[in-house]
A = this chain, B = another copy of it.
Amino acid sequence: MAGKVFFAVSMSLDGFSAPESMEGIRATPEQRERDPRLDRWVAQWMELQSWIFPVRFFRENLGLGEGGEEGLDNDVARTTFERTGASIMGRRMFDLGEHAWPESAPFHTPVFVLTHQPRDPWERPGGTTFHFVGDGIHKALDRAREAAGDRDVRIAGGSETILQFLNAGLVDEFSIALAPVLFGAGIRLFDGVDASRVRLEPVRSEPSSRATHLTYAVHRR
């Protein structure tokens, strides 16, 4: 049986899945001195994701060393990774990640990057190969499904890419790590959702001390 199509992201209580810009991640010290917002955006991002940094699986998977916390947050991180047979991401997420991921990128599966600029597949040590797909989300999903086999396809991000798949009726399920933080501004996860066509069914809601892990199945209205 074919796997599911899902996304799994962290979201602030006021609905943001990213700060206004992620440019702080690759900014030089000079740039950060000129624009103090860059540091603030990185701090927001760290706060949003703070449930995942201390867990054992995250440290293992990024090669940060032994140890780390067990428990629900760790289980969620591990399960999300293990169910994923292939990922799909937007070009901007890839561009940012290219600078932020370690050489052994943390996917360890095929990753399909939506882009209008064709490019040869890019193989990384540790089993991640990036494929650049220029013929639309349906074709990208066909290829990802095939690559994933029995496992699930993760729409990795960013939120614009996630919304394209959600509004096209291609998402079966999603998980949100709801972080106890208010952003006030930034990139809204569900900005532009076609609410008249998407119905949610609660599947799970589990709190850890750092986030509430919510899972919903997606149906057409």
Q: How far is the CB of A56 from chain B (nearest CB, A)?
A: 22
Q: Contacts A188-B14, A212-B212 given: A180-B193 contact, CB under 8 Å?
A: no
Q: How many copies of this chain are found per oligomer?
A: 2
- Complex Cα distance, B15 from A201, in Å, reads 17
**Closest Cβ of chain B: how far from A22's Cβ, in Å?**
17
With the chains together, A200 CA to B202 CA distance in Å?
25
What bracket does the count of chain A residues touching chain B fall in? 20 to 34
Query: Does B195 contact A182, Cβ atoms closer than 8 Å?
Result: yes
**Is A189 an interface residue, CB under 8 A from the partner?**
yes
Within 8 Å of chain B (Cβ to Cβ): is A214?
Answer: yes
A165-206 interface mask toward B, CB cutoff 8 Å, 1 = contact, 0 = none?
000000000001010111111001110111110101110111
Q: Chain B nearest CB: distance from A212 CB in Å?
A: 4
Which residues of B lie under 8 Å from residue A127 when comparing CB positions?
none
Can you list 7 A-B pairs, Cβ within 8 angstroms, ordered by A? A13-B15, A14-B189, A14-B190, A15-B190, A180-B201, A180-B202, A183-B195
- Given A13-B216, A182-B200, A202-B210, 11 additional A-B pairs, CB 8 A: A13-B176, A14-B188, A14-B189, A14-B195, A15-B190, A180-B200, A180-B202, A182-B190, A182-B195, A184-B194, A184-B196
